[in-house]
């Protein structure tokens, strides 16, 4: 996982290639790049970035014959017999597109107070990633949402 502040077009992919070329890139299967407003240690944030900023047709690159290890369980028996210890790696760019990042949609988030009130409404269920409660979470008044550049954790609407 890489979190970067993009400085130029292609910066995200270049950061991924630098990782793969280093010892930290050894035996990786996936490299995900996110913008600096995403906490790379928070899987909810990363999944949110993947679902809102990644276009699968243009943002996923597969690198073949990448450096791996004999311990890689995904290496086929034939490749192992030939001592071919390589694998493929998916590089996934989950950043805002650099060339129009300033025009990209603002992130809509709900302040903690709004989320707390919604959770305590009687008869309302929601999906809470921390507690695993599944149901529907409907806000009757979407004007409670706040537009902002600073992303806060938002709960996924479920059915």
Question: Is residue 25 one of the residues assigned to a domain?
Answer: yes
- Separation CA 33–CA 63 (nearest Å): 15
Q: Which domain holds residue 85?
A: 2-103
- If asked whether residues 55 and 24 sit together in one domain, one would say yes
- If asked whether residues 138 and 80 sit together in one domain, one would say no
Q: Looking at residue 128, what is its pLDDT?
A: 54
Please determine, for residue 39, whether its predicted confidence score (pLDDT) is greater than 50.
Answer: yes
- If asked whether residues 129 and 99 sit together in one domain, one would say no
Q: Looking at residue 157, what is its pLDDT?
A: 40
- If asked whether residues 93 and 133 sit together in one domain, one would say no
- If asked whether residues 23 and 77 sit together in one domain, one would say yes
The mean pLDDT value for 90-100 works out to 92
Question: Is residue 157 one of the residues assigned to a domain?
Answer: no
Question: Is residue 159 one of the residues assigned to a domain?
Answer: no
Q: Looking at residue 7, what is its pLDDT?
A: 94
Q: Looking at residue 21, what is its pLDDT?
A: 85
Please determine, for residue 101, whether its predicted confidence score (pLDDT) is greater than 90.
Answer: no
- If asked whether residues 30 and 81 sit together in one domain, one would say yes
Sole residue written with tokens 């010892």:
23
Query: Angle CA(81)–CA(82)–CA(87) in degrees, nearest 5?
Result: 95
Please determine, for residue 99, whether its predicted confidence score (pLDDT) is greater than 90.
Answer: no
Please determine, for residue 77, whether its predicted confidence score (pLDDT) is greater than 80.
Answer: yes
What CA–CA distances, in Å, run from 97 to 35, 41, 52, 149? 10, 22, 11, 16
Please count the structural domains in the chain.
Answer: 2
pTM beyond 0.85: the answer is no
Please determine, for residue 3, whether its predicted confidence score (pLDDT) is greater than 50.
Answer: yes
For the chain, state the CA radius of gyration. Answer: 20
Q: Looking at residue 12, which CATH number applies to its domain? A: 3.40.1670.10
Question: Is residue 48 one of the residues assigned to a domain?
Answer: yes
Question: Is residue 45 one of the residues assigned to a domain?
Answer: yes
Sole residue written with tokens 């694998």:
87
- Separation CA 145–CA 152 (nearest Å): 11
- If asked whether residues 69 and 28 sit together in one domain, one would say yes
- If asked whether residues 14 and 89 sit together in one domain, one would say yes
pLDDT in tens, 49-73: 999 999 999 999 999 998 888 888 9
Both tokens of 73, joined, read 């369980």
The mean pLDDT value for 132-152 works out to 41
pLDDT in tens, 108-129: 666 777 767 766 654 455 555 5
């Amino acid at each position: 996982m890489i979190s970067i502040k993009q400085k130029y077009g292609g910066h995200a992919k270049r950061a991924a290639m630098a990782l793969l070329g280093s010892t930290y890139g050894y035996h990786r299967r996936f490299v995900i790049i996110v913008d600096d407003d995403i906490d790379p240690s928070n899987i909810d944030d990363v999944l949110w970035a993947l679902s809102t900023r990644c276009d699968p047709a243009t943002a996923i690159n597969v690198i073949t014959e990448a450096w791996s290890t004999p311990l890689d369980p995904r290496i086929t028996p034939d490749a192992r017999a030939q001592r071919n210890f390589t694998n493929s790696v998916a590089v996934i760019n989950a950043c805002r597109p650099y060339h129009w990042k300033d025009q990209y949609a603002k992130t809509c988030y709900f302040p903690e107070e709004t989320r707390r009130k919604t959770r305590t409404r009687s008869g309302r269920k929601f999906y809470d990633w921390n507690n695993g409660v599944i149901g529907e979470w409907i806000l009757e008044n979407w004007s409670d949402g706040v537009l902002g550049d600073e992303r806060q954790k938002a709960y996924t609407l479920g059915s």
